[in-house]
Amino acid sequence: MTGRMRSLIFTLLFFAVCLVPAAGLALGAESKAGANEVLAVRPALTKRDGSLDPDYLPELADYVGDRFFLRGEAVTARAKLSAALFHTSVTEDVILGRGGWLYYAPTLGDYTRTSRMSGREIWCAARTLYLLQENVESRGGRFLFTVAPNKNSLYSEAMPVYPVADGPSNAEALRNALSSMGVHTADLFSAFEREDGILYFPTDSHWNGKGAALAADTILSALDIESDYYSGPFTEGAHKGDLYEMLFPAGTDPDPDPAYAPGFRFTANTANPDNARIRAQGPGNGSLFLYRDSFGRNLYPYLAESFAESEFSRRNEYDPSVLPENGVLVIELVERNLHYLNDYTHPLPAPARDAELVSGASDRGRILVREENGTVFSGTFSDVRPDDDSPVYIVSGGSVYEAVPKPDGFAAILPEGARAGDLRAVFLSDGVLVSLSATDDLISGG
């Protein structure tokens, strides 16, 4: 065989290999999303009005790049080669640890304490939970807040070396603020740190089945409910980690997953643990409403088993009115998302306060107040800002209410009849009680 013939055969083989992914896509064998991926959708050549879409070609390139045949296998091969040769992750959301451990990159700011919330942000988050608890207890219910630790907060031994700043983490600072306000909490950090075993998945960002059992026992103990799920027994299952899927979408190496051997007796409206809303009936007593995130995937079966009625919601706006009479409201929030307590506006009626709290406030100007649906009011501070630990009081129609504080403003649900133009916001600024008035020319209706 001549050299020219060998070159021709190699070239033909090379192009044939290159055509396989495109041919597979053309025949309908497109790659699926892995883990938390969001793939590009198939674009349309024309827009709704019949005109050509000028972005069709780049959108088509994104679609083909996301879905070509054997994409997962190609990405996995590249990721494994990079990990073996250079010990680096090819996915920005995954940190490659030692011994096969993987960590979620968005937790790095918490781990190094470089994404620290300000003093005002911590206080506002704690005060929001305090107001939620006050509302729940005023209606005969019980309230509990708990933080699911980031994996590297508990298991840092396999983490790459990063400089860690001095001072408390966001979770520690919030725990101290909640303690000073008397907000009821369940300390999952201490509960996990007391155990010697590995209770998180090595290649997933969450706790495993046995870790969820420990979290459930800790939460139920804080509610004075007896349980011993953590003692098991457990059978050995398998779980493909979310971080593993992100890094190696075609990989086939699962983590061991302890499954609660006695099983569960509750019934639910869905078998999908990722459903945004799960309603369950169990053999326990009382009613539970749990606001949860992805950590609730393994957690909720234990809690559903412990109550007669329970509901589990993945909404980030915490509404205390959903709680049945004399029920229990629990909020579970992962450490990396504590800022959600300030980012979202929680539909919480503003409680009435003593008029003496705003007596003698000095006028410091005006504030933009937005009104929505007739009872929801919000405002944003500009030149005059509250002290880190100052509540925000709203004066309306001669009555005083406490608003849900925001780092740069407030939100409040006021009684019907309140008008934005009649409101005043009162708070401490540099230790002085000040008042900002809303006037008609600064009101933005909703």
Residue 286 and residue 310 share a domain: yes
pLDDT at 83: 66
pLDDT at 62: 58
The bridge status of strand 328-334 relative to strand 142-148 is parallel
- CB atoms near residue 370 (< 10 Å): 18
Which residues make beta-bridge pairs with 146? 186, 332
**Integer Cα distance of 196 and 218 in angstroms:** 16
Read off the pLDDT of residues 79-97 as tens digits, 9 standing for 90 and up: 566 666 656 777 899 999 9
Say which CATH number the domain at 381 has: 2.60.40
Residue 226 forms part of a structural domain: yes
DSSP class of 359: T
Residue 334 and residue 260 share a domain: yes
The bridge status of strand 287-291 relative to strand 328-334 is parallel
Give the pair of three-digit tokens for residue 240.
Answer: 């493909």
Give the pair of three-digit tokens for residue 140.
Answer: 């005969």
Residue 251 and residue 146 share a domain: yes
pLDDT at 74: 61
Which residues make beta-bridge pairs with 278? 312
Would the CA dihedral through 329, 333, 339, 345 be positive or negative? Answer: negative
pLDDT at 32: 58
Q: For the chain, 446 residues long, give each residue's pLDDT as a single digit of tens.
A: 565 665 555 444 444 444 445 554 454 555 555 555 555 666 676 777 767 767 666 665 555 555 544 555 666 667 566 666 656 777 899 999 999 999 999 999 999 999 999 999 999 999 999 999 999 999 999 999 999 999 999 999 999 999 999 999 999 999 999 999 999 999 999 999 999 999 999 999 999 999 999 999 999 999 999 999 999 999 999 999 999 898 888 788 899 999 999 999 999 999 999 999 999 999 999 999 999 999 999 999 999 999 999 999 999 999 999 998 889 999 999 999 999 999 999 989 999 999 999 999 999 999 888 888 778 999 999 889 999 999 999 999 889 999 999 999 999 999 988 888 889 999 999 999 999 998 654 444 33
Instruction: Look at phi and psi of residue 313 and say left if phi exceeds 0, alpha if psi is from -120 to 50, else beta.
Output: beta
pLDDT at 68: 47
Give the residue among 369, 427, 416, 419 at the shortest CA–CA distance from 393: 427
* Total domains in the fold of the chain: 3
pLDDT at 72: 54
Residue 384 and residue 312 share a domain: no
Residue 305 C-beta-side C-alpha neighbours within 13 Å: 18
pLDDT at 439: 66
Residue 168 forms part of a structural domain: yes
Residue 242 forms part of a structural domain: yes
Residue 407 and residue 281 share a domain: no
Q: What is the 3-state secondary structure (H, E, C) of 44-84?
A: CCECCCCCECCCHHHHHHHHHHHHCCCHHHHHHHHHHHHHH
Asked whether the beta carbons of 95 and 359 are under 8 A apart, the reply is: no
Residue 151 and residue 275 share a domain: yes
Residue 183 forms part of a structural domain: yes
Amino acid at the residue 33: A
Q: 290, 311, 343: which is the final residue of a domain?
A: 343
pLDDT at 445: 38
Give the pair of three-digit tokens for residue 392.
Answer: 């925000």
Give 260's contacts (C-beta < 8 A, 6+ positions apart).
209, 213, 229, 232, 234, 301, 302
Read off the pLDDT of residues 189-212 as tens digits, 9 standing for 90 and up: 999 999 999 999 999 999 999 999
Residue 259 and residue 135 share a domain: yes
Asked whether the beta carbons of 393 and 427 are under 8 A apart, the reply is: yes
**Integer Cα distance of 102 and 251 in angstroms:** 14
**Integer Cα distance of 433 and 357 in angstroms:** 9
**Integer Cα distance of 92 and 333 in angstroms:** 23
pLDDT at 67: 54
Asked whether the beta carbons of 358 and 392 are under 8 A apart, the reply is: no
pLDDT at 79: 57
**Integer Cα distance of 240 and 131 in angstroms:** 40
pLDDT at 48: 72
- CB atoms near residue 116 (< 10 Å): 17
Residue 95 forms part of a structural domain: no
Instruction: Look at phi and psi of residue 143 and say left if phi exceeds 0, alpha if psi is from -120 to 50, else beta.
Output: beta
Residue 432 and residue 335 share a domain: no
User: How many Å is the maximal CA-CA distance in the chain?
Assistant: 100
**Integer Cα distance of 221 and 212 in angstroms:** 14
Residue 86 forms part of a structural domain: no
Torsion angle of C-alpha atoms 210, 256, 334, 185, degrees rounded to 10? 10
Residue 152, SS3 per DSSP: helix
Residue 94 forms part of a structural domain: no
- Note down the domain range covering 309: 104-343
**Integer Cα distance of 239 and 262 in angstroms:** 19
**Integer Cα distance of 44 and 52 in angstroms:** 9
pLDDT at 446: 37
Residue 145 and residue 33 share a domain: no
Residue 213 and residue 263 share a domain: yes
Q: 23, 51, 69: which is the final residue of a domain?
A: 69
Residue 323 and residue 223 share a domain: yes
Residue 5, SS3 per DSSP: helix
pLDDT at 51: 76
Residue 316 and residue 167 share a domain: yes
Residue 328 forms part of a structural domain: yes
**Integer Cα distance of 70 and 307 in angstroms:** 46
